[in-house]
Amino acid sequence: MPILIPKALQGLYFLCEPIADGSFGKLYLAIHALTRQQVAIKIIDKRKLGGEAFRVRGEIEALKRLSHPNIYSLYHVIETDTTFYLILEYVPGGELFDYILHHGSLREPHARLLFRQLVSAVGYSHSKGIAHRDLKPNSDNTYLDTYCGSLAYAAPEVIANREYSGPAADIWSMGVILYAILCGCLPFDPSRPEKLPKLIAHFILVQKGQYVIDESLSKSSRCLISKMLCVDPEERITMSELCKHPWVMEDWGSPIDLLVDNKQVIFLK
């Protein structure tokens, strides 16, 4: 069935197929009418945003400030009375979430390669004064083990609704992601306390920092995860320390350079 092209995009882009569907809009693979370049177009319905339109504008301003091999580029923005159209770099290869679902846990060398790219991108963003605050291995509304969405990756201080440091919260979220790619599951599983509602159980586990880790993983990887999933944000490993942690440097021999450490940019598929 042909996709109806919105008036604002007519003559500029052809919509090919939907990539993802979220609460506020959809993401499409598209082709530029003149250059035939593939792009991704995020179409966001303002009417569904309510008072959250400022978040979209914040995302736009952040993307304008960032230029990094592991962060997709924002090419253009079209705004109408009812809709935002974000013309983005199309990045093939799928999502990390889907890769984990299909392949399970990754061997440490492969996990390290992916994780170094994540750290490089997030650390670069921090150097520009931008914290992500919603890191997870997918970009839409699905998530590993469907109990609480982005909360599965949120730091204790975020869940507790306390004042928090964005960079420190990102470190926690990256720790959850590293755990997931090494273990094939999430660290804080609320299904164990059977008598408690899942969200309450999740809250308790996170606040206590209670998780079980596979002892077959290297001591260095387990040490790194424990430093990232430290409940006290003041004691949590910093980005600078993370970039030169022994596990991160293994097989590479050097810390992560937030500006140039992208000689190997790999796709998942």
Catalytic residues: 134
- 258 HSE (CA, 13 A, CB side): 16
Rounded CA-CA distance 5/1 in Å is: 12
* CA pair distance 207, 201, nearest whole angstrom: 10
CA-CA distance, 252 to 36, in Å (whole number)? 38
Do the Cβ atoms of 181 and 96 come closer than 8 Å? yes
Q: Which residues contact 133 (CB under 8 A, 6 or more apart)?
A: 158, 166, 169, 170
Q: Which residues, 6 or more positions from 106, have their beta carbon under 8 angstroms from its beta carbon? A: 100, 114, 181, 182
